[in-house]
Structure 1
Amino acid sequence: MWVRVDRSAWAATGAYLKTGLGFGYFNFLSAIDWKPSPFGRDMDAQVDLSLGHDEASKTDMAIEQGVAGGDTRFQVFARVNDIVNGLGVTLKADVPDDDLSIDSWVKMYGGANWHERECWEMYGISFEGHPGLRHIYLPAGFEGNPLRKDYPLLARRLKPWPGIVDVEQMPGDDDPADAAETTEAAE
């Protein structure tokens, strides 16, 4: 079962499910970016042009409110379970585009800690009252939120990775030592 709740009632609903109804097992928390995106990405690569996709054939990126799953572009959802009675509930809350924040569940469900951190890091949604939103996966200097549909795919655009990167020459890349080893092995 799923229940859509208002963002202002997110924390109170989570608390009631846990203390009032016995849904004490936190399963997961994540977010959805409902922005339409053809093929799951922007069509801007050379391959798109060769397939006949150009500016005139791009899909309309406007969100039709209430159709794509929510009234806003972003939606936070979480699942909790009552393991005694074998019941589960998924809560969904729309997060407005101009205020990407929602109350934290960490005080009620300790397991929500890393889920909220990941959601903040990947989507840019803040969790009010969270004890320490900090990076899990990405380096501190990383720009943007990679799971947003408007985030440019790095495979399609050259962007330097922040921080120190080990650079080693690939074997066979005109390295005199490799050439000498190859000659000796052939003899």
Structure 2
Amino acid sequence: MSDQNATPEDNTELDDTAAPEPEAAVVEPEGPKDEAREAILGRFVDALGEAVVDSHIVVDKDLWIRVSADAWHEAGEVARNALQARYFGFLSAIDWMPSPFGRSMDSEVDRLLEAKDEAQAPEDAAVSAGTSFEHGFAGGETRFQVFARVAHIGEQGSNWGVTLKVDVPDDSLALSTWTKVYAGADWHEREAHEMFGIDFTGHPALRNMYLPTGFEGHPLRKDFPLLARHVKPWPGIVDVEQMPTNEAEQLSTEESGTAEGADS
């Protein structure tokens, strides 16, 4: 029973259901920013819109931008003409499928990878099994991707570069050529076509550079059966002489060899 003569302060002390004080909101500090590369990314987004599928910035170091296949040629034009990235570094391709042949060497890194595979999560196991792919910075959705590196070379402190990447459609394995934007892409596209089987629509002469005429297959695909992937034992019989264990035995061996030479 409450005391009729109790003061308001006393009632407050007796009230166990008083609401607790609200906790202060935790404000996480923002990570470092790279305004220069964010501005470059913004220019691509303004020009290409939703065709910019994904991106990745390493602050003060580098920028990756992934675009859709139908915007690949336009992305090159934006880089060269709108952003003045006139230096063409390289264009190449990659097959993200894990090799069905596995790894042929039993090195320390292989043992570490094997231990990692045994302890990995189910979604990572799918990558190792070849049912899913891991695509690196800016992601990806297809087995093959094409990369190109271009850069703006200007006054000291104003230089920058960007790696543009694109998913190669699985059903066509074809992209528009960059040869009309960057002349240097000519041989790079020929090599990617030869080694990976990717077509570049509009290329003036998409023919082999390294492989002989009539060669079948594309050697840099993960499922290409290269015999060089496997170490084969020496097929011949080799006589192996034991190394001398002391000076006396070494002298005896040398004298024996000298005597045999004299007899012959």
- The TM-score with structure 1 as length reference comes to 0.70
Alignment of 1:12-161 (within 5 A): 12-37=74-99, 42-43=101-102, 60-64=129-133, 69-84=139-154, 85-155=158-228
Bigger RCO (CA 8 Å, 6+ sep):
1
SS for the counterpart of 2:75 is helix
Structure 1: any 5+ residue segments left out of the alignment?
48-58, 158-185
Question: Match for 1:6: what amino acid?
Answer: S
Q: Which residue of 2 aligns with 1:5?
A: 67
Contact 1:36 1:62 in 2 (8 A): no
- The TM-score with structure 2 as length reference comes to 0.51
- Root-mean-square deviation (CA, aligned residues, Å) is 2.8
SS for the counterpart of 1:26 is strand
Question: Match for 2:132: what amino acid?
Answer: I
Which of 61-70 and 136-145 deviates more?
61-70
Q: Which residue of 1 aligns with 2:12?
A: none
Structure 2: any 5+ residue segments left out of the alignment?
1-62, 107-127, 231-262
Question: Match for 1:78: what amino acid?
Answer: A
% of aligned pairs identical? 54
Structure 1, residues 141-179: CA drift from partner, whole Å, max 9, x if none? 11100000011113369xxxxxxxxxxxxxxxxxxxxxx
Contact 2:93 2:196 in 1 (8 A): yes
Change (3 A) 1:79 1:43: closer
Structure 1, residues 95-124: CA drift from partner, whole Å, max 9, x if none? 121110001000111100000000000000
Question: Match for 2:208: what amino acid?
Answer: H
Higher helix share: 2
